[in-house]
Amino acid sequence: MPCNVETVNAEFRVRIRPVGGSVPTYRTVGLARVAGYPPALYERDESLMYIVAIGWLYVALMMAITETNVVAGVATFLFYGLAPVSIVMYIMGTPGRRRRRKAQEAQEARNAAGCQASRPQGDRDAGV
C-alpha cells in the first residue's frame, strides 16, 4: 500500500493515462498557482469547493429530517448546515473576490488611460 504522495500520484498516472499530458495532482496544482501558470490548470480545483458544500448541506438536511420535531429540525439544519457552510464559503471565496476586484480595477485603469490618450490635446489642457 503506497503511503506517500509521489507513489500515489505515480500510480494514478499509470492507471489513467490522460490524453495530451499528465494528470494535475494536488501538489502540481499548488505549484502551478505559485509559479503563475495559466488558471486553466487549477480552475477545476475551485469547483470542488461547491461539491463539498452541497454534500455538507445534504448531510445536514438528512440530520434535520431525522429530528423528532420541526423546530429541532430547522435548528439542526441552520446551525449544523447553513451557517457553517456560508461562513466557510465566504472565507474560501475571499481570494477569488480579491482577484476579480483587482482585475476590474486594472481594467478600469486601462480604460481611463485609453480615454486620456484618445482625448485631443486642447481638451486635456482645459481640464474638461
Q: Which residue has the higher pLDDT, 1 or 90?
A: 90
User: What is the spatial distance between Cα 116 and Cα 113, in angstroms, rounded to a whole number?
Assistant: 5
Predicted confidence (pLDDT) per residue in 63-117, tens digit = 999 999 999 999 999 999 999 999 999 998 888 888 889 999 999 988 888 777 6
What's the whole-model pTM score? 0.51
Q: Which three cell numbers stand for residue 61?
A: 438536511
Predicted confidence (pLDDT) per residue in 6-52, tens digit = 665 665 555 544 445 555 555 555 555 555 555 554 455 566 778 88
